[in-house]
A and B are shown apart, each in its own frame.
Chain A
Amino acid sequence: MRRAASGTSPLVSGGWTPWLYLAPALVVLGGLLVYPIYQLGLISFFQYTQAQVSGGEPATFEGFGNYAELFGDPQFWQVLLATVLFAAACVVSTLAAGCALAVLLTRVRALPRLALMLAALGAWATPAVTGSTVWLFLFDPDFGPVNRMLGLGDHSWTYGRLSAFFLVLLEVVWCSFPFVMVTVYAGIRAVPGEVLEAASLDGASQWRIWRSVLAPMLRPILVVVTIQSVIWDFKVFTQIYVMTNGGGIAGQNLVLNVYAYQQAFASSQYGLGSAIGVVMLLILLAVTLGYLRLLRRQGEEL
C-alpha cells in the first residue's frame, strides 16, 4: 500500500477498492442520468412523434430541424424570457428572505427562534402539490381568506398573467426560503465568536458585519444555496402546472419545463420536447459553470 506523498489528508491508494465502493453509484448514475442525457440529445435531432413512438414509421433524422422550428416560434422566446425572469425573481426573493431571517434567528432568544424554525420546517416539509393547492385555496376568489382580509372582493389571482406568476412566486418562496435560512443560520453559528466580537468592538454596524465579515466567510455556503435555488427555481414544474392549470390561460404562464412537457406528452412532439430539454440543460450548465468560474477566479475552492 502506498502512502500519499503529501497533502493534508493522508489518502491511501486502495487498488480496486475505491472502484468497488463507487460501482453502485456509477452504475445508477450512468444508467439513469448520463444515458438519458445522451438519449435526450439524440431524440432532439429526430422527427419523433406518435407515429414513430408506436413503431408505425421509422424515426427520421432531422439534424437541427427541431431547433430551427423552436427558434422560429415566437412563443418559445416568450416562454424562455418568462422562465428566466420568473426564476430570477424567485431566486432573489428566496435568498433575500432566507438570509434576512437567518440573521434574525441569531438575534432572538430560544423561544421565538424555535417558533420561526418550526414554521419554516413546516413550509419546507410541505410537498409541492399540496403547497400549490393550499395557496390556491388561500387566494380563492370565492372561498379564500386572503381576498376577504385584503377587501378584494372576488378578484381572481390566476386570471391575469402577472398576478398568476406572482401567486406561484409566493408559494415557491414560501417553500424554498427555509432551506436557505437553515443553511445560512448553521453557517453563521459555525463562525468563531471572536471574529464577530472583534468586528463589533471596532464599532461595526449589523449591516457592516454582515457585508464585510459574515458574507465573505459564508461565501461557500452562499454559493451552495444560490446554485441550489437557481437549479430549483429554473425548473419549477409542479407549482406552475397545478396552480395555473397546465400553464395558465392560453399558455400565458408557461415556463420551459411545462412547455416541454406539453409539447412532448400532450402533443406527442417528443423530438421538439427534447430540444426544449436540451436548451434548458445548456442554460443551467452555462449559468452554474459561469458562476463557479467567477468564484474560482476570486480564489474560492470548490
Chain B
Amino acid sequence: MSLLRARVRRPGRLAAEASALLIAVVVAFPLYWMVLSAFKPAGEIESSQPRPWTLAPSLDSFRRVFGQQEFGRYFLNSLLVAGCVVIASALIAFLAATAVTRFRFRLRTTLLIMFLVAQMVPVEALTIPLFFLMRDAGQLNTLGSLILPHIAFSLPFAIWMLRGFVKAVPEALEEAAYIDGASRARFLWQILFPLVLPGLVATSVFSFISAWNDFLFAKSFIISDTSQSTLPMALLVFYKPDDPDWGGVMAASTVMTIPVLVFFVLVQRRLVSGLGGAVKD
C-alpha cells in the first residue's frame, strides 16, 4: 500500500483528503442535527429558518421524553433484549463454529451450506408464523418473543463469520493441550474461547444491531402489554405523522442512538480487524 500511496502526487492526495473530510461532514450531519435539535428550545425547532447552532440549549425535550411513562422501562427492556441476544448467540455460535471447523463428521458440508442459505431467509416474512408460534406458546407480550427470534436470526451469520477465527487457531495448540492432559471442555473454554474472542466481538456487533433495531417484531408481538415494549415503540409516541413533536423525537432518538454509538466506538478496532479476519478466509 505504501508504494501505491507514495506514487500519488501531493495535490492528488490533498484533494483526496479534502473530499474524505467533506464526506465525513455530510455523513455525520444527520447525527449532528439530531443531537442539536434535541437540545434546541421549542421555539427554535419550530422555526422556518433553522440554524445549525443553538444559543439557548435546553433540556426540555429530554424532560418530556423521560417524563413519558415507562420510557426508562422501555430503555431497560431494549438493553435486556439486546444483551440476551448478544450473549446467547455468541455462545451458541461459538460451539457450532467449533463443531463445523474442528471435526469431521457426516453432514458437515450439508450443515455449512444450510447455515449459508439460512442467512438469506427474509426474516420479516416469518412474522406471521412467529406470531402464531408465540401466541400458542403463551409468549406474546413478553420480551422472550423478541429475544428468541433474534437469537435464531443472528446465528447463521455469526457461525459463518466465526468459522474463520476458529480455523485460524493452530491444530498444534489443540494437540499440545491434550498431551498436557487438558480435557476437551477445558481446551474449548480456556484456550479456544479467549483466542476467538476478537471474532466474537465482531459478530456481537451484528446481533446487537439486529436486536436493538427491532421494530417489526416489537410492533407485532407486543400488542397489549405495553410495559414489555422497547425503545422504537417509545420513539413513536412522539412521532405522529400529522403533528410530530420533533423536539421529543430527536431527544428520544438521541437517547436511543447513544448506547449503540458507544458500543461501536469501543469495539471499532476489533470490528475492522474482525471483518478483515472473517472475509480473508
Contact B276 A4 (CB under 8 A): no
Contact B20 A33 (CB under 8 A): no
**Chain A residues with CB below 8 A from B1, complex form:** 106, 188-189, 193, 196
Q: Which one of A70-78, A88-96, A161-169, A275-283 contacts B? A: A275-283
Contact B256 A130 (CB under 8 A): yes
Contact B232 A115 (CB under 8 A): no
Cβ of A79 within 8 Å of any chain B Cβ, yes or no, is no
Which residue of chain A has its CB nearest to the CB of B274?
A186
Q: B52, B153, B276 — which one has the most chain A CB atoms within 10 A of its CB? A: B276
Q: Which one of B58-66, B67-75, B91-99 contacts A? A: B91-99
**Chain B residues with CB below 8 A from A29, complex form:** 118, 152, 155-156
Cβ of B173 within 8 Å of any chain A Cβ, yes or no, is no
Number of A residues whose C-beta is below 8 Å from B?
Answer: 107
Contact A284 B120 (CB under 8 A): yes
A22-B95, A130-B257 known; A33 and B152 CB under 8 Å?
Answer: yes
Contact A288 B120 (CB under 8 A): yes
Contact A137 B249 (CB under 8 A): yes
Contact B37 A186 (CB under 8 A): no
**Chain B residues with CB below 8 A from A234, complex form:** 122
Contact B121 A143 (CB under 8 A): no
**Chain B residues with CB below 8 A from A112, complex form:** 17, 20-21, 24
Which residue of chain A has its CB nearest to the CB of B235?
A129
- Name A70-117 residues within 8 Å CB distance of B: 101, 104-109, 112-113, 115-117
Which residue of chain B has its CB nearest to the CB of A40?
B129
* CA–CA, A292 and B136, complex, Å: 38
Q: Which of B33, B93, B250 contacts A145 (CB under 8 A)?
A: B33
Which residue of chain B has its CB nearest to the CB of A265?
B220
**Chain A residues with CB below 8 A from B112, complex form:** 302
Cβ of A68 within 8 Å of any chain B Cβ, yes or no, is no
Q: B47, B99, B128 — which one has the most chain A CB atoms within 10 A of its CB? A: B128
**Chain A residues with CB below 8 A from B280, complex form:** 187, 190
Contact A116 B27 (CB under 8 A): yes
Cβ of A127 within 8 Å of any chain B Cβ, yes or no, is yes
* CA–CA, A235 and B52, complex, Å: 34
| Interface residues of B, dominant DSSP | helix
Contact A39 B27 (CB under 8 A): no
Minimum Cβ distance to chain A for residue B280 (Å):
5
Contact B256 A197 (CB under 8 A): no
**Chain A residues with CB below 8 A from B232, complex form:** 127, 129, 238
Contact A25 B129 (CB under 8 A): no
The 18 listed contacts between A and B (C-beta, < 8 Å) are: A9-B167, A18-B105, A22-B96, A31-B152, A32-B148, A106-B5, A112-B17, A112-B20, A133-B249, A142-B48, A143-B246, A174-B27, A186-B275, A196-B3, A237-B124, A238-B215, A274-B128, A277-B127
Extra 17 A-B pairs, beta carbons < 8 Å, given A24-B91, A134-B31, A190-B280? A37-B121, A37-B129, A109-B17, A116-B21, A127-B232, A127-B257, A129-B235, A133-B239, A142-B46, A148-B48, A193-B4, A231-B119, A238-B213, A260-B124, A261-B124, A264-B128, A302-B116
Q: Give residues in B with beta carbon < 8 Å to A.
A: 1-5, 7-8, 13, 16-17, 19-21, 23-25, 27-31, 33-34, 37, 45-50, 52, 91-93, 95-96, 98-105, 108, 111-113, 116-133, 148-149, 151-153, 155-156, 159, 167, 171, 184, 209, 212-213, 215-216, 220, 231-232, 235-236, 239, 241, 244, 246, 249-250, 252-253, 256-257, 260-261, 263-265, 268, 271-273, 275-276, 279-280
